[in-house]
Amino acid sequence: MSDSSGYRRDIGFFSATMIIAGSMIGSGIFIVSADIVRQVHTGPLLLLTWCITGVLTLCATLSYGELTGLMPKAGGMYLYLKEIYGPMSGFLYGWACFLVIESGAIAAVAVGSGRYMGTFSPGVSDTHWLLGPWNIKAWQATQDIALGPYEFGLTTARAVGIAVIIAFTLVNTYGVKLGVWTQNLFTLAKLGAMAALIIFGLAMSPKIVPVAGPYVPPLTVAPITLLAALVVAQVGSFFSCEGWSYIGNVGSEIKNPRRALPLSLLVGPVIVIGLYLLANLAYLRLLGPTGIANAPDDRVGAAALGAIFGPLGGSLMAGAVVISMFGYVNGASLTTARIYQAMGEDGLFVGSAGKLNGHGVPAWALWLQAAWASILTLTGTFEQLVDYSTFAQLLFVVAVIAGVMVLRVRKPNLERPYKTWGYPVVPLIYIMGAVGIMGFLLRYKPAFTWPGLVLVLLGVPVYLLRARKLHNPTLRPPDHPHIEQDI
């Protein structure tokens, strides 16, 4: 099995599981339940939203494990899509990761950390402007779809987010061991914080009895059907369950990858989804649907512990949430830059992205990613950045999960160290569920989903121009070995 030159296999099964868990548990579980309740209104539907996302996520990870076992190399989904559908699909994923998916997710969580910093310093807020705001009015694209309004500029929360992005990019330029050690530390801390929230939340009673009954939205909020509300609410929960695919990006750095990769893709998500459901039970017990929906600045995690211990409890939980968000930014920065390194080897990314520094990491790709993610922090709030990144992510995850089935048909005789449990039902469940969600997002959350889709499609002419240049033999990099040669 060939590896990308220069990478070091320093990541074991435990660290791989911690990367998955740490990348999944970011800001979402401590924030998005507020917006979910504002969509679905009741506690049972809040839990149903998370259950649906949990089932679909496990269907995806059980399927994705088959590809990680087949191609345990740096690049993850970029590599898989390229091998399954051809080089353009791989490029479009890498292009979308940089412009939309992963940079947008890093920006969203970094801004979310700034939001939680407001617990300790009221001056840190997404409404405290340092530069701007510069407003763009809404544009009525169709009778039912309006794009905008948009509000650009630098707030104190966004400034904190930029500082966080830069700090963890710097950490990861000094080698995978330091990045993984940092990730393990943050992940263990955030798992401990979630465990404390769940134990206290389920065992102790709040000081003030929460408002009974469902959340009642303001009259100014346009009603939508229950099905539409339930599907649109998946944006937040899906965003909170993203991150499991990152482990494929560091395939060249995993010890015993054929076993460790599929197993970590089962263990990590099961742990996280179980914790998410228990955390939401704690939220409902301590705050009720109305308290969740009206949590100050959507800081549901801090509000929940504050309901038991008062301001001190809220501050302690806010600190733990900030640590959790730091862990996500570190994990995403650590893993995603490997995609751009793989693209750089193929001559499809700018500058020296394909090169590793003296510490064996793609430093150029790391800093390019940090620069663009920092720019994205200026473009929207946490919720808007979530909308921006989630649709494009679903689009490519659907393609890669479908690729499991494509390879089974095209190359049935490949030796598969791990085969998808429940095939073909399990991948089909994910594909149908995710496609349905994407359709609803384009209809009900167009302001940031449509721009994200347009940016993905703009990658087609960019690839064609780049590919034409690469037809010159002196510019085209060596071909990667095919799957059969790797196995």
Q: What does the domain layout of the chain look like in residue ranges?
A: 13-472
User: How do residues 168-203 score in pLDDT, each as one tens digit?
Assistant: 999 888 887 887 788 778 878 778 888 888 999 999
Residue 474 clears pLDDT 60, i.e. is over it: no
Between residues 292 and 341, the one the model is more confident about: 292
Q: What is the structure's pLDDT at 147?
A: 63
Between residues 57 and 109, the one the model is more confident about: 57
User: How do residues 234-285 score in pLDDT, each as one tens digit?
Assistant: 888 888 888 788 787 777 778 877 778 888 888 989 999 999 999 999 999 9
Q: What is the structure's pLDDT at 278?
A: 95
Structure tokens at 247: 């482990």
What CATH number labels 13-472?
A: 1.20.1740.10
Q: State the Cα–Cα distance between residues 247 and 218, nearest whole angstrom.
A: 42
Contacts (Cβ under 8 Å, ≥6 apart) of 150: 135, 136, 379, 380, 447
Ordered DSSP codes for 346-404: TT-SSTTTT---TTSS-HHHHHHHHHHHHHHTTS--HHHHHHHHHHHHHHHHHHHHHHH
At residue 381, what are phi and psi to the nearest 5 degrees? -80, 175
Alpha-carbon Rg for the chain, nearest whole angstrom, is 22
Contacts (Cβ under 8 Å, ≥6 apart) of 32: 236, 237, 239, 240, 298, 386
Which H helix or E strand runs over 321? helix 311-345
